[in-house]
Amino acid sequence: MTTTMNLPIPKIEGTACHDAVSCFVLSVAQKISFIDDDMIEYLNSYRREITMKIPLRKDDGTLVTIPAYRVQHNNARGPYKGGVRFHPEVNLTEVRALANMMTWKTAVADIPYGGAKGGICIDPKTLSKNELERLTRAFTFHLGDNIGPHTDIPAPDVNTNAQVMAWMYDEYSKSHSHDALAVVTGKPVALGGSEGREEATGRGVMYVLREVARDLKVDLSKSRILVEGFGNVGYHGARLIQDELNGFIVGVSTSKGGIYNSKGIDVKKAHRYYLEHSYLKGYPDVDFMSPEEFLCADCDVLVPAALSGSINDKIAQKTPARIIIEGANGPVTATANEILIDKQRVIAPAILASGGGVIVSYFEWVQNLQQYYWTHEEVNKKLERVIVPAYERVRDLSREKKISLRQAAYTIGLEQVAQASILRGTGY
């Protein structure tokens, strides 16, 4: 296991790091010769923050107001791009960090987008389908011209899906006479969505794990793999790792806990059980663990594919994982990252490893604009042809500069965005 792929993030004196992403950005930006302090401040600021109180008439006639946000971080390289999540813990600070991360994710993948993110502070499980549709449409209406096919293109994220995107598209199209199909991505295939979009983030995770394992000469069929999160990213990531890489999956988890079997778990069977029962506890022939116990269970590879910040200092100290592939956005905190680096762990950062979703979203956007569509197989091949070279660029810079994969990825992203900003004359 090489140690040149992960080196400590330098301490930043006198600079406030409000989240892990800001810390990573600042630590790398200070080392890029053509990025001065003014550019650093610009790159770590936000173009627009939209804070809303969305009125929702419940089925019982009561009226409630629900906090909602859309943060547009940077559009130097193209339209803003980023998902919309529905979650009771959504807040402006989180959405800012996620929008920031999207800017670097699109730049690392070298697709012509900037970064944005949106969220509504609600547990969608507490809403009926009709209430969820009314809320989605109200959110879209309130965003108005702040989104658009060439302005800002939302997509699914935590607790949102193709149906939510279909409602957003339909609501937006009511007030825009031009063809608005490309206003959102992640739509149903029957409504202009792309083949392969649902599994795209998980497939990207699989491709990145495959490349890391090849470079480190790790046999995934003999490596114990844990996947945190059993939603869209976690399930498809685990399924594809098992089916296409013959990866040895020993555990999968949800927010309520995880199941572990040292002899392996059939991912598809476990997922069927989860869909039927809405939880994993009770699945036969496994040990059930709390979320914290699961993250510290015996493994060689850990794929955090749930929410931000799940790997904190305590988990970082305890997890035996030698390889961490970030399927979620920002699952490793800044201080946990330093602990893992000191322990010589190899970490494929989210701005690289979870890029499959936005890459295939880009494909969907292109297909919508051209009105020409590709097969599932074509989409998968195109995704591989984008994300594997992105990994190779990050890996090669990591080796050349003897820095971590995370530092290398942020260096590439920052250089791309800073160069575009300078060429456009932004702020100068």
Give catalytic residues, as residue numbers.
117
Spatial contact of 306 and 315, defined as CB atoms under 8 Å apart: no
Spatial contact of 114 and 106, defined as CB atoms under 8 Å apart: yes
Q: Is 150 exposed, middle or buried (0-12, 13-18, 19+ CB in 10 A)?
A: exposed
Q: Report the candidate in 355, 354, 356, 332 with the shortest Cα–Cα distance to residue 345.
A: 332
What's the rounded Cα separation, in Å, for the pair 135 and 57?
Answer: 9
What's the rounded Cα separation, in Å, for the pair 171 and 175?
Answer: 7
The answer for residues whose C-beta is within 8 angstroms of residue 370's C-beta and 6 or more apart is none
What's the rounded Cα separation, in Å, for the pair 300 and 324?
Answer: 9
What's the rounded Cα separation, in Å, for the pair 408 and 403?
Answer: 6
In the block, which residue shows the tokens 């074509």? 378
Where do the H-state alpha helices sit in 12-125?
20-29, 37-43, 92-109
Q: Would the CA dihedral through 210, 211, 214, 218 be positive or negative?
A: negative
Position 428, amino acid: Y
Using CA atoms, how far residue 221 sits from 128, 217, 273, 300, 305, in Å, is 43, 12, 24, 11, 20
Establish how many alpha carbons lie within 13 A of residue 372's alpha carbon, considering only the half-sphere containing its beta carbon: 3
Spatial contact of 54 and 66, defined as CB atoms under 8 Å apart: yes
Q: Report the candidate in 219, 225, 170 with the shortest Cα–Cα distance to residue 192.
A: 170
Q: Quick one: DSSP state of residue 221?
A: G
Sheet of strand 152-156: strand arrangement: 48-57, 63-74, 115-120, 80-86, 152-156
What's the rounded Cα separation, in Å, for the pair 211 and 328?
Answer: 18
What's the rounded Cα separation, in Å, for the pair 251 and 225?
Answer: 7
Spatial contact of 404 and 398, defined as CB atoms under 8 Å apart: yes
